[in-house]
Structures are given as C-alpha cells and as structure tokens.
A and B are shown apart, each in its own frame.
Chain A
Amino acid sequence: MAGRDVTRTVEAVWRIESARLIAGIGRLVRDVALAEDLAQEALVAALEQWPESGVPDNPGAWLMATAKHRGVDRLRRAEVNQRKTEELGRDAELRSSADEEDLAVAADDPFDDDLLRLVFTACHPVLSPDARVALTLRLLCGLTTREIARAYLMSESAMAQRIVRAKRTLSAAHVPLAVPSPDELRERLASVLEVVYLIFNEGYSASAGERLIRPELMEEAGRLGRILAELLPREAEVHGLVAPMELQASRTRARISPAGDQVLLLEQDRSRWDWVLVGRGLAELERAYATRGPIGPYTLQAGIAACHARARTAGDTDWERIVALYDGLAQLMPSPVVELNRAVAVGMAFGPEAALEIVDRLQAEPALDNYHQLPSVRGDLLDKLGRLDEARAEFERAARRTVNSRQRAALLERATACASPR
C-alpha cells in the first residue's frame, strides 16, 4: 500500500464493486433494501479487517462472499424466529450459492442482468425523479449519502430521509427487482434515461450554489451512461443520450470564463474543446444510428450537438441540418422552448425574417411568460432587421426578466446600442 491509507483503498474498491455487489445479492434476496444492507455490512467488515489482513487479491469476490454469509446469518436468525416459508426457500438458494467461489468475477451475463435489474428498480417510475436520482447515485454509483447531499447542496439527514423514503416506496408498491418485459422496456427505459439526464444537467448547469458547473455530477452521469450503453447496446436512445453528454462535457473547458461566467457555444474557443470526448460523442451517435432502432428525442438532440461539434468554427455550422433536426424534435416533443431554439436555428439558416415569424407565434405562450430568452431572441432578430426601436424595447423587457445581474447588464447594453445611431 506504500503508505496510502487502506481506508481510502476500501472506498475505491467500494466505488468499483458496490453496484454489482448490491445487484448480485439482490438476485438472491430479491429485495433492494436488504441487498444494500448486506453489501454495507460487507463494507464495514472490509473496513475492519483489511487494515489488519491487507487488501485481498480479489476484493470484489471477498465482499460478495462476506455479504452472502451475512445474508445467510440473517435468514438463519429469521428461521429461528419462525419466519415465512417463502424466505426459507431463499435461504436454501443463498446457502448453495454462498459456496460458489468467485461469483463476482465469473459469469458475465448474469452480472449484466443483475445490474440491469438494479438499474430499472432504482429508476422505477413509481418514484419521483428526485428519489430516482438519489437512489441511483447511491446504489449504482456507490456514492455515500453525504456525497450525494453535498452534490445537491442538501443536509445529509434530508438526503438520508429521501433515500429511506424511496426504498420504502419501492417496497410498499411491491416493485420486483426485475427487468421490465419487452413491451414495457422502452417506456421504463425512458425513466432510466431521464435520471441520467437529470444528473448530467445538474452538473452541467447547476441549479443552485455558486458554481456554474459541478464536474463530479457530469462525470457520474457520463459513467452511468457509458455503463448503460454497454448493458443495452441495441437501444438507440441510450447511445443518443451518451453522445450529447460526451459532446457537452467536451466543451467544459471552453464554456466557463476565468471570472466563472458562461461562454456561449458560438463564442467558445474551439481549440479548448476536449477532442477525445468530441470523438467519443460522435462515435456514440454513430452507434445510435447503427442500431437502426427508432430515433427518439435524445438521438435528435445528439444530432444537433454533433452539428456543432463537427464545425471547426462557429461560421462552419450546418444550420440547415440543425433546423431539420429541430423540426424532428418539435414533432416528437413539442414544447415552446424547443420551438424557440428552432427559431434561433432558422434565423441562422434562413435569415431573421423567417425566425421572427416563429417567435411571434410564441408571444402568447404562457409557458414562456417569464422566460427572458424570448424577448432576448426577438430583440436580436429585430436588431438584425434594422427595427431598432422595437429591438430596444425587447432587450429592456428581457433585462427585466432575468435574475442574473451580468446578463441584465449585457441586455441593457444591447438596448442602449439600439438607441444610438450607428
């Protein structure tokens, strides 16, 4: 260990092994909460024993064997307490497999199935998105409650409550630890992908706190996405979700200014993009297309992100293709925000007049009532058309709607520019 703290090694092993450990135990005890308890007990045992005994050669198998033995102990105690016969059945299964060696290393496919079961259970639609996110970070990413609480700027006790409630909800709803049937798969998958997307988005544009991004959440989401892409390689939308995550992560370095402010895509110095991640994102999009499965909203968004990634300079952007992809997106999930983004793309591809028509249709949209981007986009289009008085009014309106002081200052500056003769 060369002076490195064994505790930190145990933590690292836990991060690597916990999901498959919980998933493997889950197959035997068929209960997420119990599986997690047993895995935690194995972790505690490791923390107690490894500093003395050294880290075993195959730490994953050690944890699995320990967790199983704890499970057998528990069930034995339950037996004494005259528990239900159903549980005795599990006991027999558990005992026989506790003798199998190296279960963690062996059997590839069962492991994938175990993990998939855990994924679909942690992301079950019976849970609120917040609960799904918390449970996923805990069960699949191996984060501690404290780490999750810190990432979401919550108290540890509040986060612990959320996780406990989530597990209770699963058990109250009798959610089986199972992979959904083929006819439910797509719908249930959407619930899983949403969780990954939410984690990524919270990292990519933090909703609270002082930092604009939280790279650790982006990284967790990225890893989860890549794991899913290997578990469900034939699902286009999984790759469609991974692709824009890689592409957006590739821009992290260019996206935040030294002062900590956001630099918009078209203003970014593309030499600062991470080109390894760009390559990964584009490859993942190809994998999505190669499945020949139905293209969903994630893959369309991946296509849009890829148009930007392929452009060496902002001026090279293929805006017509972006418009076509937004057309598809607007059909699949019509929303005023998608429509506004489509308008911007139309403006870039076909000129401000065509875009203004779309934006004007959005004026009455209640969902955009307090959205500063609407007047801001409209102001920009009017400005380009030389209708400066109207443009100024829109920039002023946008400035009133934003809570961000830097944004407001910039918008007011733009309004002033419209008033002065050029």
Chain B
Amino acid sequence: MRVMVLIKATEQSEAGEMPSQELLEEMTAFNEELVRAGVMLAGEGLHPSSEGVRVEFSGRERRVIDGPFAETKELLAGYWLWQVRSMEEAIEWVRRIPNPTGEYGVVEVRPVFEADDFGEEFTPELREREERLRAHTEAGA
C-alpha cells in the first residue's frame, strides 16, 4: 500500500523560517534511510501559505484567494509518498521522523487509493473498449 504523509504547518514554517542545520542534517539522514529501505516514492517541502493561492469553487464561480491563510494547524508544510506494507509500518516510520528541538508538530498519514480500491469508477467507454478484441501481443510490456 501507499500512504501520503502530510506534515502540518507550524508557526515557524508559516513564517518562512528555514530549518536549523541540525534538523536539516537529521532529515537528510532520515530521507536516505527511507530511500534505502525502498519506502520513499516522493516527497517535497512546501513554501509557506503566503506564497500560495486558493481557488474557491461555488456554482460556476471560480474565485482566486491569495495566501497567507489563517488556520496554521490545518495547513501543510510538506508531504511524502511512501510505499509500506501496512498503516502500522507507516506509523513506525513516522515515529522515527527527527524532531531534534522537541517542538510541537503534527503529521497525518492517509492511505492512497490503489487499483484494488477502484473498479466501479470505470467509464462506460472503457467497459465497452474492454469488450473489443485485442489480438496482437502487448508489445514490449
């Protein structure tokens, strides 16, 4: 299974403060460990919400709202996409995220929809296509 690991913003991240040298080093080591364990698929840090925008949908309206946004605890500061065997494994990795200063923070883990979770969502067009004949080999794949 894959999980999205969402790192919630803090006042420091929203203020655009760069992480300390110590945290950077520990984070680099942690990321390397994720890579070497075959767990890491992707991950990025995000600029503070002051650099971001929101687009609000309402009926046919599309309204663009500039950041920053107020509700710091609901904002994101970064994310990872991990390949793990279970939520328990994800939790175990999250427990190992370095936090040298002991500062308060929240990390949310959400399972990603996988092929097995789909099935009903296929379009009628795909269903129809699937009925058609495919006689040649799946060249090269």
Q: Does B70 contact A (CB under 8 A)?
A: no
Stretch of A130-138, A154-162, A261-269 lying at the B interface: A261-269
Number of interface residues of B (CB under 8 A): 38
In the complex formed, the residue of A with least CB distance to B123 is A269
B37→A227 contact, CB < 8 A: yes
Chain A residues with CB under 8 Å of B137's CB are 340-341, 344, 373, 376-377
A357 at the interface (CB under 8 A from B): no
Q: A215-B116, A276-B41 are in contact. Are A267 and B139 (CB under 8 A)?
A: no
Interface hits, A314-330 → B, CB 8 Å = 322, 325-326
Please, which residues of chain A bring their CB within 8 A of the CB of B141?
A: 248, 251, 265, 304-305, 308
When the two chains form their complex, are residues B114 and A215 in contact, meaning their CB atoms are under 8 A apart?
A: yes
B136 within 8 A of partner (CB): yes
A89 within 8 A of B: no
* CB-CB under 8 A for A410 and B134, given A258-B120, A308-B140: yes
For residue A256, CB closer than 8 A to chain B, the reply is: yes
User: In the complex, which of the residues B38, B41, B120, B132 contacts A225, with contact meaning CB atoms closer than 8 Å?
Assistant: B38
| Beta-carbon contact of A223 and B38 below 8 Å | yes
For residue B135, which residues in chain A have a CB less than 8 angstroms away from its CB?
A: 376-377, 379-380, 395, 398, 410-411, 414
Q: B60 near A: Cβ within 8 Å?
A: no
Q: Is B13 an interface residue (CB 8 A)?
A: no
Q: Contact string, B31-52, partner A, CB cutoff 8 A, digits 1/0? A: 0000111110110000000000
Q: Does A16 contact B (CB under 8 A)?
A: yes
Please tell me if the beta carbons of A322 and B37 are within 8 angstroms of each other in the complex: no
7 A-B residue pairs with Cβ-Cβ distance under 8 Å, sorted by A, are A9-B91, A266-B138, A277-B41, A308-B141, A340-B137, A344-B139, A376-B137
- Chain B residues packing against A (C-beta within 8 Å): 1, 35-39, 41-42, 81, 83, 85-86, 88-89, 91-93, 114-116, 118-120, 122, 126-127, 129-130, 132-141
8 closest A-B pairs (Cβ-Cβ)? A223-B38, A12-B88, A226-B38, A304-B140, A257-B130, A410-B133, A344-B139, A12-B89
